[in-house]
Amino acid sequence: MMLLLCPVLIYGQQKPVVPHGFPPPLNQPKKKKDTTKPSPYLADTLLHSIPFNHFYIHDKIDKELKKADMWDGVADSAIHISTDSLLSTQLSDALLKDVAKLKVFIENMPIASGRDSIMENQHKIRCLTAVWEMLRSFNNDPKPDAVYYINLVANMRGMIKASNENKLMEFAKVNTNIYTLDNGKVLMDNQPEVRAYIYTEIGAKYPTMMIKRLGEYATDTFASAIISADARIEPELIFNYATSTNYVIRGAIHRTKDPLVHAIVKIADGSKSPLKSLSFLGDIYSGRKSIAAIDSITRNADMYYKNLVRLKIEDDSIARYSYTRDLSYRTLQYVRKMNELHEAKDDVRFKCIDSLQPAELYYLIVYGQDEIYTSSYIGTFKRLLERMKPMKGDKLLDTLNYDHFRTFIRMSAGYNTLSSFLATIDDTARATLMNKFISGLQKGKAEELEDAVDVADAFGSIKDSALSVFLESKVKENYELSYKMKSKKGMIIYSLLSRLFEGNKITDNDTGATVASERLHLPPINRVLNKDLVNDSGIIYQQVFFFGDDDGEKSYRSFLSGYKDEKKWRIDTTQYWTAISSIAGKKVVLYANRPLQAPDDEDAQNRLTKYLEDSGIHPSIVIHRGHSYHLPLTLTKLNNKVKIVILGSCGGYHNLAIVLDHAPDAHIVSSKQTGTMGVNDPIINAMNKRLLDGSDVNWIDIWNELDTYFATKPEFKEKFADYVPPYKNLGAIFIKAYRKISGGK
């Protein structure tokens, strides 16, 4: 009898077991032995032991990995760098997990043909060093960009593989980017042709970025190409390098044969006033003027200013930043001189501008807007009209290429001189000019709003009813045009301007202001609710900024004098600041830094700000008591808790935008000119009176009250008229409404 022997399946096994000595079952082919070796690049464990002389670099990498894990203060195998949890997870995976895998990846890499054991050892140490340097750059970065480092790690893996296979040039050509450049600092140190390629290509695309890294390649032959490219963009930086005490960087500039770079070097080495002469780089480069001729110009203040205006009108593209910056600075020298002599007779006060021609007076007005007093403006404008004859106003603007013309018209409207300027222009040309004033506001990036804000501000000052009707019709026409063009920016701008136009007619009372606020989809523009000013303990905190000049000291003394009533206020003074606390009424606390002599005044401000932060105090009201040139320091201290900002100095577009960047809901009180304590103190007192009562801060009520008060103070009445209350600050209202609708900052 034949026995049928069948395979026996043993529990837990997936293949049949055959008794020893028997042939395999029928129809069961022999399984071939798999001789395929796994790719070393894909292995996630070491295929061999780490060489002893690699231990030190592995140890250095491990130490940096621990530092990276502790970046957020917690050793939890995660890096919390962003409020975006997904981004933090991706960064953690890249820097902690993927970098750890890179160590295994490098040790497992196969030996490329042509490399002996010594070369192979050096190559792997170089790759491990590149990984270590990458981690160090993260750990030493005060503000690391998560996306950058995620991409940097990904690039490193591909670059190391390409380097191991002697394909680094091919990799560089496909990956010509900042990640290859940064990872290549170590990986390309023995491949100069690849290094030259990547630096040259990125230098051609991004000369502004690359010139700041000149120290990395100053002695390389390709440095000249990058220097030459950036000289056309940032001649000021090339000039700084040409005068640097670092002989390596300075030498790179001097060796560059480019004619424009050579002109910069000529100024740096040959001019008696090189910083001033740099504005005339175009003249030197073109051969129009010699270094000696430029030195002669810069020695004379009036000639210097006149020639800066010439460059502005010519719109010279070379050194535009330098001559525009210098023009702005020189303008203020004239403005401050006129302001200082505000009590002198006109022939003395305006003597400094006797030689200036219409174009030069025009730039004095538009670039001096932040500091010019009303009377200084009026005197300058009067001379502009006189010296412009018989030229018409529109022809003057033609010769100036309409540069800053919206600012000029906005200022003319604000100082009630627009009708005088427009009277110099024929009817048809006048309509064309004002149409130009309104049109084209949709151009540029979504966040570029300076021209639109100038138009909005002008609306609040135009008293000519016929002109108002004309401008209103042009706003509607431009809205329709923007709609046809499908310009989102244009539709938002002209829709808001139309609403501002209507709202400005009715905002002299609370009912009208409420309607205007609703039309603009904004919180009340005429009042700040008391509940929005108090903290959780029911206290209203204010911070006041003073500066260490004579005006600051006087302003500080005047400020303190308003709190002498010991039944209402308690004053405590420290080395750096004064705290003023209410005793009667609701709790109000003001902190003011002492106006110590500069630079101690800034130190006092910083110490006070730190004290408030450490104490968990967040002022809802910030007051700036100083000239406009001090204002940038105050603006850096704002935050989104601030609801009222009293500038006491010019509230031009850039200042308004910065305030609202930091404090998007703030109500802004500003002046068309430098503030004065004779006006600032009554405004603050009127506000504090309401705070002590627990009332809302109603600006319409406050301004009506102050109108009555200043009617009896003729010495301050004109200056008070230059202050703009929040419900009339159409520029600030426009920016708020635009950002709310567009969703932008």
Quick: pLDDT tens for 247-276: 999 999 999 999 999 999 999 999 999 999
Stretch 79-97: mean pLDDT, rounded? Answer: 88
Instruction: Confirm whether 398 is domain-assigned.
Output: no
**Residue listed under structure tokens 């705290």:** 579
Question: Residue 454: is its pLDDT beyond 80?
Answer: yes
Q: Among residues 143, 171, 205, which one ends one of the domains?
A: 205
> Residue 96: inside a domain, yes or no?
yes
Q: How confident is the model at residue 153 (pLDDT cuts 50, 70, 90)?
A: very high
Contacts of 99 (CB under 8 A, 6+ apart): 61, 65, 131, 134, 135, 153
Burial class (CB in 10 A: 0-12, 13-18, 19+), 522: middle
Task: State which of 205, 235, 253 marks the end of a domain.
Answer: 205
Residue ending a domain, among 205, 232, 248, is: 205
Q: Which residues pair with 622 in a beta bridge?
A: 543, 645
Check pLDDT > 90 for residue 460. no
Banded pLDDT at 279 (limits 50, 70, 90): very high
Overall domain count for the chain: 2
Q: How confident is the model at residue 5 (pLDDT cuts 50, 70, 90)?
A: very low
Confidence of residue 650 (pLDDT cuts 50, 70, 90): low
Dihedral of the alpha carbons of 290, 294, 296, 297, in degrees to the nearest 10: 140
Q: Is the pLDDT score of 35 beyond 70? A: no
Domain annotation covers residue 695: yes
Report the half-sphere exposure of 673 (CA within 13 A, side-chain side).
Answer: 23
List all residues 6 or more positions away from 741 whose beta carbon is below 8 Å from its beta carbon. 492, 496, 521
pLDDT band at residue 234 under the 50/70/90 scheme: very high
Q: Is residue 94 part of a domain?
A: yes
- Contact between residue 671 and residue 692 where contact means Cβ atoms under 8 Å apart: no
Q: Cα separations (Å) of 410 from 151, 198, 354, 364, 459? A: 48, 50, 25, 15, 8
Q: What is the CATH number of the domain that holds 634?
A: 3.40.50
Taking 80 as the threshold, does the pLDDT of residue 575 lie above it? yes
What pLDDT is recorded for position 687? 96
Please report the pLDDT score of residue 11 as a whole number.
33
Cβ atoms 64, 136 nearer than 8 A: yes
Q: What is the average per-residue pLDDT within 486-492?
A: 95
Q: What is the mean pLDDT of the segment spanning 238-244?
A: 95
Calculate the alpha carbon distances from 591 to 319, 448, 623, 685 in Å: 44, 36, 10, 15
Local confidence band at 631 (pLDDT 50, 70, 90 cut-offs): confident
Q: Over range 357-383, report the average pLDDT.
A: 93
Residue 311: is its pLDDT beyond 80?
yes
- What pLDDT sits at residue 33? 52
**Tokens at 537, concatenated:** 């303990």
pLDDT band at 244 (very low <50, low <70, confident <90, very high): very high
Q: What is the CA radius of gyration of the chain?
A: 35
Which range is least confidently modeled, 14-23, 604-613, 663-672? 14-23
Residue 703 lies in a domain: yes
142 found inside a domain: yes
What b/e string do you get for 54-81 counting C-beta neighbours within 10 Å, with b at 16 or more?
Answer: beebbebbeebbeebbebeeeeeebbbb
- The answer, yes or no, to whether residue 496 has pLDDT greater than 80, is yes
The pLDDT of residue 81 is 80
Q: Would you say residue 181 lies in a domain?
A: yes
| Percent of the chain at pLDDT exceeding 90 | 74
72, 76, 80, 85 alpha-carbon torsion, rounded to 10°: -170
Report yes or no on 701 lying in a domain.
yes
The per-residue pLDDT of the chain, averaged, comes to 90
What confidence tier does 189 reach under pLDDT thresholds 50, 70, 90?
A: confident
Q: 């004619």: which residue's tokens?
A: 259
Structure tokens that stand for 162 in this block? 């390409």
pLDDT-derived band at 32 (thresholds 50, 70, 90) equals: low
Query: Could you list the residue range(s) of the whole structural domain that residue 535 is in?
Result: 527-742
Q: Record the tokens describing residue 623, joined without a space.
A: 């007051």
> Are 520 and 507 spatial neighbours (Cβ–Cβ below 8 Å)?
no
Q: Is the pLDDT of residue 124 over 60?
A: yes
